[in-house]
Amino acid sequence: MNRYTLITGASSGIGEAFSAYYASQKENLVLVARSKEKLQKMKAEYQKKFKIDVKILNFDLTQESAPQEIFQAIQGDGLLIDRLINCAGFATSGNVYDTDFSLQHTQIMLNVTSLFDLTKLFLDGMIKRNHGQIINIASSSAYHPIPTMAVYAATKAFVLSFTEALSLECRDKNVQVLAFSPGATDTNFFSASGGVAYGNLRTPEGVVQASVKALKQNKISKIDGFNNYFTSSILPRLLTRNRMANLVYGIMKRQLKQ
């Protein structure tokens, strides 16, 4: 009964969809987000509907101390994290030289540093118990540079590379590690980042189902959807890096003008 699934960014978007899915699977949850009121509503709903235990932790993961404080709180409660899902993240849009320094630094802290810290902190227990799962949400943006979203794409490239390598390191330890790369998804991501959505949007629930399927197939990484797979994985292999970067830059400039 003290085994839990920990989800960051749990109060909205893909993180909320993961929370709802694993609650429906009768998994005890630790939900982490800044939105305390939303987490409290989710806790009350899931505990009543699914008869599970839900812990909520109200933390800002852009703060360097947050991962350690989360880990210590969970250790203090004697909980075992059998599944970690790192969903928290955000993007900025605009040229690097036009975008606020602190905002971009905060983006790196959340998308890269906190993800690594939480992964490392909870991985050690999984290795000792010879059991666990980690899902790190990367992005189809991880596979090539994106001018006007340079920092975001670079942070997701870190998530992808780190997670794929870690997955292979853990393969003989009975710990599954997956880098899942959604494309444009119907969340508040674009309004929050100032970016522009294009193409058909996936639902957060569809992303979760595809992630679960990829885990069952023992994938180390997965791009969500064939169109995203082609533009993010196949096309960069056919074009030079220079041509790919210029192609993406042209698309982004046209979208921003609309």
**H helix or E strand, kind and range, residue 24:** helix 13-24
Phi, psi (degrees; rounded to nearest 5) at 54: -130, 120
Q: Which residues of 108-144 are buried (b: 16+ CB within 10 A; e: fewer)?
A: bbbbbbbbbbbbebbbebbeeeebbbbbbbbbbbbbb
Q: Diameter of the chain by CA atoms? A: 54
Are 150 and 96 in contact by the 8 Å Cβ rule? The answer is: yes
Crossing angle for the helix pair 115-129 and 66-76, nearest 10 degrees?
30
Using CA atoms, how far apart are residues 216 and 248, in angstroms rounded to an integer? 33
Residue tagged active-site, from 4, 22, 143, 152: 152
97 is catalytic: no
Give, rounded to a whole angstrom, the gap between the first and last alpha carbons of the chain.
52
Using CA atoms, how far apart are residues 145 and 143, in angstroms rounded to an integer? 7
Instruction: Write out the catalytic residue numbers.
Output: 152
